[in-house]
Each structure stands twice: as structure tokens, then as C-alpha cells.
Chains A and B, each alone.
Chain A
Amino acid sequence: MKSNKSSQDGNIVIRFFSSVKLAIFLFIVLAITSIIGTVLPQGESLQFYLENYGPFWFKVIRTLHLYDTYHAWWYLTLMALFSINLIVCTIKRLPYTLRLFRKDGLNLSKDDILRRPFKNSWLVPQRTNPVDIKKEIKGLFYERAGKGRSKNVDGGELHFVEKGKWNYWGVYLIHVSVLVIFAGAIIGSFMGFKGRVMLLEGESTDHAIKTDAHGNIKKIPLGFEVKCEKFVVDFYPNGAPKLFKSDLVILNNGKEVLKKSILVNDPLTYQGVTFYQSSYQSVPDVKIKVVSSDGMQKIVHLSAFRDRETWKEKGLLIGMMKFLPKVHGAPAVRLYIGDIGGRDGDAIWLLSGHEREEKFGDLNLKLSLLEAQERYMTGLQVKKDPGVLVVWLGCFMMVAGFAIVFWVGHNRFWLWLGEDGKKLNVILAGQTNKNKVHFEKEFKKLSHEIQKRIGEA
């Protein structure tokens, strides 16, 4: 990216796609356009937009797919441009980063070393044995700076120590990580699915339900069965929800293979498909005893999914219109009683513990509520996303990249020992690309120690 200006290749397309200016332009455009979807309600019916925003804005919303901004063609185009920008930058940066990474710190002349940002030079009169003092300064250098290498340069010996050379890969890692996250998201959207399952206690299913943007319902086969054995909901004294729990069982070919209680933050995964606790409903489940005057009787079982039943012998249809869990402390049901043809009928309230007589046509009926309870139905979010691990890999790379950029610096130390006339010339030099203040301290400390050693000579 830095090599942008000095770029030798005249290819205008590559230059355009690798420019930092394009990156900044895309950041700003993405930031501004992303606001739309947070202000305008998303995923509503087209009717909703027409009613609330008028015909002009409705046209704008429909044309630009603003009802689903983040999947609109123009938003995805911006994302694609952003990806191309990143890919071109990443490829273009590779030789530049490699050059920095492979640069040999020993491949410098004495003059080069004196041009480093931090340096110190001493001349030592050779009264003492030069081999001794050289050995001691070298020892000091490696002890303080760390392990290193050496080479003969310009008639002297050059010693070199470096740390944090991989600092150059930090920014690189961040850029690649964004592409990895995108790849994960693409894998997920093509190879995964999202759906819902609603299960009464005791009920099981072998498919999930998916509702698309236009309200069409699609069945997604799971390849196995999931059963809800029990659902529990619990509240705090102040009425706030405390716990939602579904006891799930996975059945493969009718055989129980897995059993787990799932909570909101603790889902179940089987064969790459994960079930999340997402909602619940309570649905009524009642049993009514109907006795006719001729002594015949029938138990009518009604629930949210079977809200009517017929009594063929008597030509009756009995249905549940409403359920109230507590009326004066007891459950109550509003019933519809009519003939099977549906031509004639009455609505009555039946209260638990109170038998009721009802005349219908030439029939005298005695009705009583045998059982009335609310059964729970758990709402599960179902998901399969093989791209999610790739996304996590990208996230990990990104954080590692940032950590390197922020905390790791490429620190280099040079020590040159050679003759200058009859004196021993000692040169200490240093360079860093991060946290100069801290490096300067370290450099000064080492400098001071060498100075002290020379002073003793």
C-alpha cells in the first residue's frame, strides 16, 4: 500500500484497486449507507413501506432493496469492491513485506550503521589487552540484547541482534483475516441453513420450517428426529424471566442417540445442526366430558392444534373458542356447540369444577371440564453453518494481527568493533519501528553499561 506512489506497473486497474484512497472511500460509503438499515425497519412487507412512506419513497425502497439493505445488490457490490481492494493490496504488499522481513541486518557497512536513529561511538586507547575488552563488550552486548549473529565488515566485526521481526506480518494478517471472515460468511450462506422448530412437550419432528422474505414456508429435512420431552420456564420474584429450558432428545432411525437440556446460552449440536432455545408459547390442552340424557357419554380432547371434535352418533361438533387459565382461581373454556353441518350453534362458558347443563336441539347435555392445563410449546432456532469455524479463524487472525501491530516492534541492535588508528573503535547502534520511548531507554541503558566498561579500561 505504501508502494502506491512508487508503483512501477502502469496498469491503471491494479493501481486503482490497490489504492488506500479507494479503501478510505469504501469505508466512508459503507459507514454512511449502513445507517439506512438501522433507521428504516427491515424485512417488512412491501405493503408496510407503501403505507408508511408514501408512493415516492416506496419506489426508492423497492428499487434499491432498502427493505433488506444489507443483502441489496448495491451493498453487496460495495462489499465485493472492498474485497477486491483487499485482495489486490494483499498481493501487492507481499513482495514488499517479504523484502522487509528478509532484510539482513548484517548486510550493512560501518557508515550505514552510523546512520541508524540511535547510535553511540567510543574510542578506547589500547592500554589493556584489546582482545579482553572486546570479549567483555561483546559479552555485555549479547547478554543485554539477546542472541545474535556476527560477520566481518569494513575491517571490524559486526554483531547484530533483532527481535520482533514478524511485526511486519501484523497488518498483513489483519487484511487477510477480513477476507477469511468473508469466505466463512459465504460458505455459511451457500452450504448452511437457518430455520425454526416449534415443539409441544412430547412432540417430535424431522424437519425445520423456513419462512422466506415473501412469507412462503419451506420444509428443511433434518435427516433425524428431534423430540422435546419437557419445557420449563421460571421467573424471578419481580416477574423477569429467569430460565427457559427444553429437554431435547435426538432420535436417529427411531433410536435415541443424544439427550440434552438446552438453555438460552447453551445449545445442542448434532450432525452439524444446532438447536437454540429461542422462544416459548403456552397452549391450552383440555378434556371435556359430555354426557347426553340417554346415558351415552364422550370425552372430547381439545388443544390448540385440534380445536374441534365431532360426536358423530349425536351429530354434534364441539370446539374450543377461548381458554382462560384462571377465572376466579380455576381454568375456564369457551366452547362452541353446534351440529356437524355447522348450521346451528351456541357458545357457552365451562368453568372447572362446575358441571353445566345445556339444551341443544332435542338433546339434553351435561358438560364438565375434566382436565384443563396449559402445555408448553418450545420455539427452537435451528441452524447449520459449516462456515462458522472459518469465521472464527478469521477473527482469531484479526485479533492476533492487532496484538502484533500494537505490542510487537521490530527492535534491532548493532555492535561494531574495529581499529581506528591505534585505538579501538566501539559503535553501538539501534533502530525500532514501534514505541521509540521504551526502546530509547533500553538503548541508553546498554550504552551506559558499555561506557562504564570502557571507562574502567
Chain B
Amino acid sequence: MDVNSSYLLSLTTFVYLGAAAIYLVYWIFRLEKIGILGTIVTLGGFLLETAGIILRWIESYQLGYGHAPLSNLYESLVFFSWVTILVYLVIEFKTKNRVIGAFATPFACLAIAYASFSPNVEDSIQPLIPALQSNWLLAHVITCFLGYASFAVACGLGIMYLIRGDKVKSGNYLLDALPTRRVIDDLMHQTIIFGFLWLTVGIITGAVWANQAWGTYWSWDPKETWSLITWFVYATALHARFVRGWAGKKIAYLSIIGFISVIFTYFGVNFLLSGLHSYGSS
């Protein structure tokens, strides 16, 4: 079979699926060896996906288009899954906690599975239309997706927080394997700040680019507006910590609502609303 980037990337889907399953098994049986296997498989998938992305970049040069693989829905979904795994691996490395993997890797797996197997997503390499011919494309897409991926992980942490329960020891075998709420909350807060930073930079690079291409840095295009709505949701989550009675559960809910808003900014706007970002939908 001819090895091309689409083939490598669809293969990555199964590796991430395997990784998610292994992390789940690790959560249930808590055998250190299974956990390490989970990390190895995730890392393997990450390297495979990296190779796929680089190969796609090379292929685009061979076709005579020559642009970074960040220009349409397929490429953005692949990049989203790649960054999600990257953010997760950094968190795993820093916290030494592998159970989080059971909550983070499924997001990456779903994104790349949708890219690879949905008939709605066109996986061929297309040339850049004039509006996209800018160095800001790279800066804008990378920063936005660093934000999106962090929010995906924060959403996973929010779900984890809600099922963890208040008690330090609940007597439930599965729940007690999760980090304490304090730890999850702290991690979620850090991840949201990190995502918020990149979402902000993503919006700003988009504004600079729009100003250069269309002469207006903000035009209330649906995509822009939804990114602002997402920004407001996470601003709420960050300020909620200063209000008595708002910390904890409410922030976990906001983390989930925020990610729903991210998904809408990402897909909903492309499919349901029309605007300047129409090239993101095919």
C-alpha cells in the first residue's frame, strides 16, 4: 500500500484509541506497567502523527503548493489532536499522574477519527487562496489550537472533578484512584490560564491578520464573536475563584461549558453560520 500522510494519520487514530483504552485499564487495575505502556503508546502515536504532519507538509511542496498543513478543516483537526496530546503529555510529565490520560486522550482520538473517517471532511491537499497567503496563518492557527487543546484537557479535568466527589476517601475503588479535588482544581485552573493566554494570543494574531488583509481588526464575524464568547466564559471561570461559594464545582461546570463554546467556535460556526472563515469548513 502506498504510504502517504493521510494513511499515517488515519493509523494514528487507532494508536490513540489504544492509548485511551490502556489508560482506562490502568485506572481500573492500577498496575504501574500498564500505565507506562499507556504513555509509550501515546508517545508512539504522537511521533506517528508528527511524521504524518511533516509528510503532508512535504507532499504539499511536491504538489507545487508548498504551505504548512494548517489550512483546512482536515488539517486543523489533525493539528488539534496533535496539540491535545502534547499538552496532555506535558501535564503527565509534570504531575506523574496517568489517570488523567483516560480523560484527555479520547479528545485527541475523536478529533483525528473525525478528520480521517468522516465523509464530510475532505482530506486532499488544496492550494492556498489569496486570503490565506500570509505568514500570520501559521501564528494564528498554532496559537488558537494551543488554546483549544488546553481547553479540551481542562474539560477532561472538569469532568474528572465532578465524578471525583468531595470525600478524600469515598470507599469507591475507582474514584479513590483519581487525584484529590484540590489537585484537580489547581491543575484545571493552571490549564485554563494557559489556554486563556493562547486563546487571547490567537484572537490578537487573527485581529492583526484581518487588519492586514481586510483593513479591519474586528468585524463581528460569527467566528470572531464566538471566540469572544468563549473568552468571556473562561474569564468567568478565572474570576469565579475570587467569589465565595463559586470555586470548585461551578468552575468545573464552566470548564465544560467553555469547551462546548470552543467546539461551537470551531465547528458550529463553520457549518451553521456563514462568515469570513468559510475556508475552515471544507
Q: Do A and B come from one complex?
A: yes
A305 on interface, CB distance cutoff 8 Å: no
Residues of A19-35 at the interface with B, using a CB-CB cut-off of 8 Å, are 20-21, 23-24, 27-28, 30-31, 34-35
Interface stretch among A114-122, A150-158, A312-320, A391-399? A391-399
User: How long is the Cα–Cα vector from A236 to B208 in the complex, in angstroms?
Assistant: 27
Judge whether A70 and B243 touch: CB under 8 Å. no
Cβ < 8 Å to A, chain B residues 100-121: none
Q: Which residue, B134, B194, B220, B243, has most C-beta atoms of chain A within 10 A? A: B220
Shortest Cβ distance from B221 into A: residue: A38
CB-nearest residue of chain B to A383: B215
Quick one: which of A69, A263, A405 contacts B130, CB cutoff 8 A? A263
Which of the segments B13-21, B31-39, B152-160, B197-205 contacts the partner chain? Answer: B197-205
From A20, A266, A277, B243 is in contact (CB under 8 Å) with A20
Instruction: Tell me whether A38 and B130 are in contact in the complex, defined as CB-CB below 8 angstroms, given that A2-B242, A274-B215 are known contacts.
Output: no
Given the interface pairs A28-B236, A402-B200, A406-B193, the reply to whether A34 lies near B130 with Cβ below 8 Å is: no
Q: Are B242 and A20 in contact (CB under 8 A)?
A: yes
Q: Which residue of B lies closest to A19 (CB)?
A: B243
A241 in the interface, Cβ–Cβ < 8 Å?
Answer: yes
Residue in A closest to B223 when the chains form the complex, CB atoms: A38
Note all chain A residues with C-beta closer than 8 A to B208: 392, 395
Interface string of A251-278 (1 = CB under 8 A from B): 0000000000001111100000010111
Instruction: With a 10 A CB-CB cut-off, give which of B197, B207, B215, B240 has the most chain A CB atoms.
Output: B215
B131 pairs with A265, CB closer than 8 A: yes
Mask for A15-58, Cβ within 8 A of B = 1, else 0?
Answer: 00000110110011011001101110010000000000000000
B170 on interface, CB distance cutoff 8 Å: no
A24 pairs with B217, CB closer than 8 A: no
A4: nearest residue on chain B (CB-CB)? B242
B47 within 8 A of A: no
Digit string of A218-253 for contact with B (CB within 8 Å is 1, else 0)? 000000000000000000101011111000000000
CB distance B236 to A276 under 8 Å? no
Q: Report whether A265 and B213 are in contact in the complex, using a CB–CB cutoff of 8 Å.
A: yes
Total interface residues in chain A, CB < 8 Å: 51
Interchain CB contact (< 8 A) of B235 among A27, A236, A392, A405? A27
Q: Mark B214-246 against chain A: 1 for CB-CB distance below 8 A, else 0.
A: 111110101001101100110110011011001
The reply to whether A34 and B229 form a contact with Cβ atoms under 8 Å apart is yes
Contact of A27 among B204, B236, B246 (CB under 8 A): B236
Chain B residue numbers with a CB within 8 Å of A406 are: 193-194, 197
CA distance A236 to B222 in the complex (A): 29
Residue in contact with B240 in the complex, picked from A1, A24, A266, A398, CB distance below 8 Å: A24
Q: How far is the CA of A4 from the CA of B213 in the complex (A)?
A: 44
Collect the chain A residues with CB atoms within 8 Å of residue B46's CB: none
Contacts A274-B215, A278-B214, A381-B215; A244 near B130 (Cβ below 8 A): yes
A405 and B242 alpha carbons, distance in the complex (Å): 16
Contacts of B211 in A (CB 8 A): 388
Contact check, B127 vs A238: say whether CB atoms are below 8 A apart. Answer: yes
The reply on B126 being an interface residue by CB < 8 A is yes
Convert A272-311 into 0s and 1s, putting 1 for each residue whose CB lies closer than 8 angstroms to a CB of B.
Answer: 0010111000000000000000000000000000000000
Of the candidates B126, B193, B214, the one whose C-beta lies within 8 Å of that of A240 is: B126
Q: Contact check, A263 vs B133: say whether CB atoms are below 8 A apart.
A: yes
Contact between B130 and A264, CB atoms less than 8 A apart? yes
Q: Are A194 and B215 in contact (CB-based, < 8 A)? A: yes
Among residues of B, the one whose C-beta sits closest to the C-beta of A171 is B238
Task: Note all chain A residues with C-beta closer than 8 A to B218.
Answer: 185
- CB closest chain-A residue, reference B246: A24
- Are B242 and A35 closer than 8 Å at their CB atoms? no
Q: How far is the CA of A278 from the CA of B226 in the complex (A)?
A: 24
B215 and A34: CB pair below 8 A? Answer: no
Query: Do A70 and B200 touch across chains, with their CB atoms under 8 A apart?
Result: no
Minimal beta-carbon separation of A433 from chain B (angstroms): 13
Q: Is the CB of B239 within 8 A of A31?
A: no
Q: Which B residue's beta carbon lies closest to that of A71?
A: B220
A376-387 to B contact mask, C-beta < 8 Å, 1/0: 000001110000
State the CA gap A361–B193 with chains docked (Å). Answer: 83
Q: Is the interface of B mostly helix, strand, loop or mixed?
A: helix
Residues of A within 8 A of B215 (CB): 194, 267, 274, 276, 278, 381-383
| A27 B216 Cβ-Cβ under 8 A | no
Chain B hits for A391, CB < 8 A: 207, 217
Could you tell me the distance between the alpha carbons of A69 and B235 in the complex, rounded to whole angstroms?
A: 22
Name the distance in Å between B59's Cβ and chain A's nearest Cβ.
16
A276: chain B residues at CB < 8 Å are: 213-215
Given A28-B232, A240-B126, A264-B130: A398 in contact with B200 (beta carbons within 8 A): yes
B196 within 8 A of A: yes
Which residues of chain B come closer than 8 Å to A382, judged between CB atoms? 215
**Which chain A residues lie closer than 8 Å to B233 at the CB level?**
27, 31
B232 is contacted by which of A27, A238, A267, A274 (Cβ under 8 Å)? A27
- B78 at the A/B interface (Cβ < 8 Å)? no
Q: Shortest beta-carbon distance, B180 to chain A, in Å? A: 15
Q: Is A403 an interface residue (CB 8 A)?
A: yes
Contact with A along B230-271 (1 / 0, CB 8 A): 001101100110110010000000000000010000000100
Question: With A20-B243, A37-B220 in contact, do A265 and B232 touch (Cβ < 8 Å)?
Answer: no
Q: Which residues of A contact B213 (CB under 8 A)?
A: 264-265, 276
Q: Given the complex of chains A and B, what is the CA–CA distance between A266 and B133 in angstroms?
A: 10
A38 close to B242 (CB less than 8 A): no
Q: Which residues of B lie under 8 Å from residue A277 when comparing CB positions?
A: 130
Complex CA–CA separation, A117 to B134 (angstroms): 50
Interface residues of A (CB under 8 A from B): 1-2, 4, 20-21, 23-24, 27-28, 30-31, 34-35, 37-39, 42, 69-70, 185, 194, 236, 238, 240-244, 263-267, 274, 276-278, 381-383, 388, 391-392, 395, 398-399, 402-403, 405-406, 437
Show 14 residue pairs from A and B whose CB-CB distance is below 8 angstroms, ordered by the A residue.
A27-B236, A28-B236, A31-B233, A31-B236, A34-B232, A38-B222, A236-B127, A240-B129, A241-B129, A264-B131, A267-B212, A383-B215, A402-B200, A406-B193
Task: Using CB atoms and an 8 Å cutoff, list the residues of chain B in contact with chain A.
Answer: 94, 126-127, 129-131, 133-134, 136, 193-194, 196-197, 200-201, 204, 207-209, 211-218, 220, 222, 225-226, 228-229, 232-233, 235-236, 239-240, 242-243, 246, 261, 269, 273
